[in-house]
Amino acid sequence: MVKVKRKPLEEIAESVKGYTKILNVGCGGCVSVCLAGGQREVKTTNAELTLLFEEKGINSRVDGYTVERQCNAACLEELDDLVVRYDCLLSMACGAGVQMLAERYPSKPVFPAQNTVAIGVDREIGVYEEKCRACGRCVLAYTGGIWIPCAWNDIYIRLKQQNRLDDIKKIHLAMEWQNSTPRTIVQPQYEHLYAKEEK
């Protein structure tokens, strides 16, 4: 899943500077799973921000609201009546969530509270490891399920164990990078629904 890490408090405070009514929007999806942007973290961040505002004599208020997922418009509907009461939005979601908020509320400034880092796996509680760069052309089929950078030794050992060394003896053609432009994913079973729009 997507792994994020919260920006330093000072950076967040700096971005919302000048706004008195701030709504911090959490997300119950990936960022909640990686313990960085769910309901609990929204509360903590808001408490820290409130303290900072008090220390600096800043007359701003920050409230919180966590939606099920920020990357789905239907999940944002419940925010519509709430958002009008605020000067700006802070998003605790990944970069996709931030953009979804900005798209839905074009008149409201939206600021990211997270750095979106990676697609990764859970190692320990609160410890995550990057595993995928979403290149759009998965090569794991011939690398024994191991991501390439600096891992050829591991790849060799695993493929040898599985009697699949031929997979890396072949020369693979130059990668056709799919992650150089923003992509839209339409699952095959739904393609017929959007055929007109695509034209």
Residues that bind another protein (CB under 8 A): 150, 152-153, 156-157, 165, 168-169, 171-175, 177
CB of 155 to another protein, least distance (A): 9
User: Closest CB to another protein among 177 and 194?
Assistant: 177
Q: Which residues pair with 24 in a beta bridge?
A: 64, 90
**Nearer to another protein by C-beta: 150 or 193?**
150
* Residue 26 vs 144, nearer CB to another protein: 144
Smallest distance, Å, CB 169 to another protein?
6
From 100, 134, 190, 144, select the one nearest 1 (Cα to Cα): 134
- For 2-71, give the DSSP string: EEEEEPPHHHHHHHTTT-SEEEEEEESSHHHHTTSSSHHHHHHHHHHHHHHHHHHT---EEEEEEES-TT
As a whole number of angstroms, the distance between CA 138 and CA 54 comes to 50
Give the nearer residue to another protein in terms of CB position, either 173 or 195: 173
Report in angstroms how near the CB of residue 31 gets to another protein at its nearest. Answer: 25
Shortest Cβ 28–another protein spacing (Å)? 33
